[in-house]
Structure 1
Amino acid sequence: METTGMAEKRIGIVGGGAWGTALAIQAVRAGAQANMLLRDADLAARMNQNRENDLYLPGIPLPAGLNATLNADDVLQADAVLLVTPAQFLRDSLAAIAGKWQRDVPAIICAKGIEKHSGALMENVVRDVLGDVPVAVLSGPTFAQEVAAGLPAALTLACRDREMGKNLVEMIGTSAFRPYYSSDVTGVEVAGAIKNVLAIASGVVAGMKLGDNARAALVTRGLAEMSRLAIAMGGRAETLMGLAGLGDLMLTCTGTLSRNYTFGVALGQGQSTSDILSSRRSVTEGVHTAASVTAVAEKYGVEMPICTAVNQVANHHAPLRETLDTLLNRPFRDEH
């Protein structure tokens, strides 16, 4: 196990899924005590006794410095708290613990999405519930299983306060888990949310057997959609070319460990949204975000035909072949 040599660091993790567990394991590797806040008492007891998250990350041993608990006080007495609940549940999760949050403790957002009913990015959700607490966003091309296994990964940690961002990078980073600092919180958030929608589209292409040419075209034009909205919302173009943008898009649009990609594959093979989701334990964020991003794009006057098509098929039962034909018959235009 690699550690930084810093004694008695404490990192809290809100969320007990695969990604929360992987980040808790990484926190221990970085030299911290990791306390995970769970809602499932039976799962917490099994994790502490058997040293495994058998529901969400089976087969990966949990290190001695990781503790699962139902007690928010144990988790919030920390140097930083990672928020790893799914995006659509983040507001309710925070509301349950807001009264115990210490105002100087950074909230590191690890959820990727846009809130469905409000169109809010996760930073805005955190500030709505917790007020003026320090906020950072951790995002990039990472599968939980690989991070938990200690395989190399690089990602972006965005924070408007450079000094705090750099401190957080040192707090959670190791040689095999490399956060790169950015000040572009908005760009990183938009990229992390929209890549899930585009991964569904990429999966549909694979499920319909439309070929590698089509998938390459879709991912590239999807990146253009992502960039247009991020810039319209105040993000920077270069962020979309980095780990949180292009990097995460490449991974999620091609990796079979991606829930969004495999959802799209099943959709392309003719399965319905309800049937696919009912067979899954983990949340497929892109389905919810497809609806959110369509509304946000309309608000900002940004054209996003691929994301709109995903929303129509995944959330409104639009015929897949007809929706594809509509996309393919759009007028020719300049690339940039």
Structure 2
Amino acid sequence: MMHEPIKGNPLPSRAQAYKTVAVIGAGSWGTALAATLARAGVSTRIWGRDESVIEEINAHHTSEKFLPDVTLPDNLMGVRELSGALAGAEAALIVVPSRSIRSVARQVAEYAPDGMPVAICAKGIEAETGYLMTQVAEEELGNRPVGCVSGPTFAREAALGHLTAATVAFTFSQADRLKPHESPAVRLAVSLSTESFRAYVSDDLVGVEIGGAVKNVIAIACGMMTGAGFAENTRAALITRGLDELKALAEALGGRRETVTGLSGVGDLTLTCSSTTSRNMALGMQLGQGIPRDNCFDGKPVVVEGEVNAKSVTDLARRLNVDMPICETVRAILHDGKGVGDGFAQLWARPIEAEPRAMDLSFDHPASDKDIATLAERIS
């Protein structure tokens, strides 16, 4: 439901940034966000498990492990104790892998002041519950407002000051709608905004989060086909039809189509599906080239969010009776032992449908079994 501004009661055009923000997680994206806040003049404390990383941030203003050759702001402070990072903070960002959100949010709840807004900066769906990351955090954080930050962002580029945009989403209470300049979403967006980092505001948590979870799976699909030797036509088709899958799942959960066509949806989808800077795209490319999963990334244990999300996204879609054939194909390849060639040949030979789902048409594809087998061999 759309909410119109109250007539005859002009709202302030300026909002106040948070004075002190804690960033929980000192990986590449957490450090980039912390650097952005510090450059905006916010007193920023960053906490991470690796004490050597925290020491390097304080001693040298660098993080060679996660952001090599990037100089961090002098006023960014690394903190070894979680309690110290959160003491006196007005807001916090949790920037850890999706599988760690629940445990880290539980720890944050021990030290975070009551009512302190917390933004989740991980993308995914919890496998056991089917919950979005903010829903997971809400269970652990109690009476603290929970939102998210998402968008088409590579950490290194943001840390280097490349022009970057992202969305800050929180549910808006009635009080937030009457005084939006005091809402967590607006205040955090202002806190993050610099001459190079531009934040937008949303009240559609579902739409923003679904974009972040599904795009990783579609990026693996794009990588697989790129690795198999296919080019722009194929990637454009996967991105566009992947966007349709993203829209369908978001709408089934109460999200808005407008959100899905914004930064956190089509923006993030396009970025992640277009560059091997994305670990999801990179994993797909290696698999498409025939490299066994255990040998990808030179055998290093690299966390690829879309690999886990391929299962959790499709589990949720199945429960909601939402058709997501590209995500199902990626799941079958990653988790069910299907070959890349067989998976994508069968995807392309699915029944012919209308592009607007509302037409509800379906006709058998004319390709023969032999044609499908030939395409599968070509892909492989």
Bin for the TM-score computed over the shorter chain: over 0.9
Letter aligned with residue 133 of structure 1: R
Normalised by the length of structure 2, the TM-score is 0.84
Could you tell me which residue of structure 1 aligns to residue 50 of structure 2? Answer: 40
Percent identical across equivalent pairs? Answer: 39
Per the alignment, do residues 46 and 279 of structure 1 end up closer, same or farther by CA in structure 2, a change over 3 Å counting?
farther
Please identify, of 220-229 and 54-63, the stretch whose mean Cα deviation from structure 2 is larger: 54-63
Give 5+ residue unaligned stretches, structure 2: 1-13, 357-380
Alignment of 1:76-155 (within 5 A): 76-77=86-87, 78-155=89-166
Give 5+ residue unaligned stretches, structure 1: none
Would the aligned equivalents of 1:38 and 1:44 in 2 still touch at CA under 8 Å?
yes
Find the aligned partners of 1:274 and 1:309 in 2 and give their Cα distance: 20
Could you tell me which residue of structure 1 aligns to residue 287 of structure 2? Answer: 267
Q: CA deviation at 1:167?
A: 1.7
Q: CA deviation at 1:280?
A: 4.2
The structure 1 residue matched to 2:328, chosen from 295, 305, 308, is: 308
The structure 1 residue matched to 2:68, chosen from 53, 58, 71, is: 58
Letter aligned with residue 26 of structure 2: G
Find the aligned partners of 1:22 and 1:7 in 2 and give their Cα distance: 18
Q: CA deviation at 1:92?
A: 1.3
Please identify, of 54-63 and 292-301, the stretch whose mean Cα deviation from structure 2 is larger: 54-63
The superposition leaves residues 145-185 of structure 1 with CA deviations (integer Å, 9 ceiling, x where unpaired) of 11000111111111112421212211221231111111100
Could you tell me which residue of structure 2 aligns to residue 184 of structure 1? Answer: 204
State the 4+ residue runs in structure 1 displaced beyond 6 angstroms.
none
Find the aligned partners of 2:108 and 2:277 in 1 and give their Cα distance: 32
What SS is found at the alignment partner of 2:59?
A: helix
Per the alignment, do residues 95 and 177 of structure 1 end up closer, same or farther by CA in structure 2, a change over 3 Å counting?
same
Please identify, of 159-168 and 101-110, the stretch whose mean Cα deviation from structure 2 is larger: 159-168
Q: How large is the Cα RMSD of the aligned pairs?
A: 1.8
Aligned length: 333
Larger Cα Rg: Structure 1 or Structure 2? 2
Find the aligned partners of 1:183 and 1:7 in 2 and give their Cα distance: 18
What SS is found at the alignment partner of 1:57?
A: coil
Letter aligned with residue 131 of structure 1: G
What SS is found at the alignment partner of 1:154?
A: strand
Please identify, of 222-231 and 152-161, the stretch whose mean Cα deviation from structure 2 is larger: 152-161
The superposition leaves residues 34-61 of structure 1 with CA deviations (integer Å, 9 ceiling, x where unpaired) of 1111111222222221221111111111
Could you tell me which residue of structure 1 aligns to residue 26 of structure 2? Answer: 16
Find the aligned partners of 2:150 and 2:241 in 1 and give their Cα distance: 21
Q: CA deviation at 1:281?
A: 5.9
What SS is found at the alignment partner of 1:158?
A: strand
